[in-house]
Structure 1
Amino acid sequence: MKKKVLASALTFVLASGSAMAAVTTGQLTFNWQAVVPTAPVTSTAWAFVDGLDIPFVPGTEQLNIARTATGIKAVSLKPYDFFIVPVDTTSTITNGTPVKRDTTKPLLATKVFLGSMPVSNGLVGNKQLELSTTKDAVDGQIAINVNGKPLKVGSNAATSIGSATDHEEHIVIDMNASIPNADVKDGASLSFVAPVIFAVDI
């Protein structure tokens, strides 16, 4: 049985602010951001769960942005960290409640790939970054990694995770992007979105 699921958005926002003028002026920048939670991703045979077996719903992760000699480097502050597990098909998966695992079924094959190119927002001229073929992006590139391996677009280029005898797969997804000075302005609001698809055979 195969189930394909879209997951995750990595976002960091830096919005411009304003200051009250007196004799001199100063400015502080404040940030507020939220993403409407998605419904729990469920399957009749397997599920995404956190370390407590509660259905995993990806939120928004922040980026650490550092200056480089040629521009900036954006790196996910922490990775998305979750598990894929087989579930008892007689049980009901409920958000906030631990799933009931089926310990008799192994995950025969787990493959991961990008459903499309990652989308970059906030760059000069709506610039889109190229997808890196290595886990560390160079200027003009973005890398989306699963368990330390760079993801590619399409099922024909899927990355295999684990082995046919595994009863759970630990998934860690992170990203990094390298952006030249010409493609980004100081104070820009940046976001990166990547549709990650999981194909699981049980």
Structure 2
Amino acid sequence: MNMKDIIKRNRELQASLNTHNEKVYENMVVYIRLNSLSERATEETLLEILEHLVIGQQNGKMAEEIFGSDLKAYCDDVLVNLPKETKALQFMNILYFNTLIFMWMFIPKTIGEIIGLFYPAFSEDRISLLPFLISWPFTWIVIWAVLKAIKNSVYGSKGWIALGVSTFVIGTISYVLTDQIFKDIWTVPMNLLISISITCLLFTLQYAFKKYSTHLETKISYI
């Protein structure tokens, strides 16, 4: 089965779950997905879990009777048995996510240049590279904190949600401030053509990295 078939089958089976089992399964999905890097192997495993749950429900069982009362421990056991990523796949994922981050950081600049065609105040002749370089590592921190908060809130303290939201807000404010503070330092020329070209280049690169990452992941899914 390809990824689309796996996801489609998952949705079909999940629709047959009762309210309690569906909630339990959704928590397992969030926890396992946020702890695993191997996307295909993760989705294959989640489908297997769902199939067991559906069969158990047909026999009158609840999720805890199938997987045990300690669902976190069960999920941890599942994660241990998932295939490990190869170095090549890890490297490709790093390239993909970093390119994706820079693309989304640059998109507002491109939108500003497009709006600048009608309202010149939004257009910039030069932009500073420092806000991008400063915000890049901080973006990773924000992503880590938010994902950590979501993961730990499933089978842990809900206080992690507050941490994730706070970090996201601080990160957004920090990006806006650095964009203003360093706007005249280490600048490069900018116009609509350059902006669109950079955005298209970043989009093409992240797409290519993702496609090749998926290709590499297919090779390890059944190890």
- TM exceeding 0.5: no
Which of the two has greater strand per residue?
1
Q: Which has the larger radius of gyration?
A: 2
**TM-score normalised to structure 2 length:** 0.22
Which of the two has greater helix per residue?
2
**TM-score normalised to structure 1 length:** 0.24
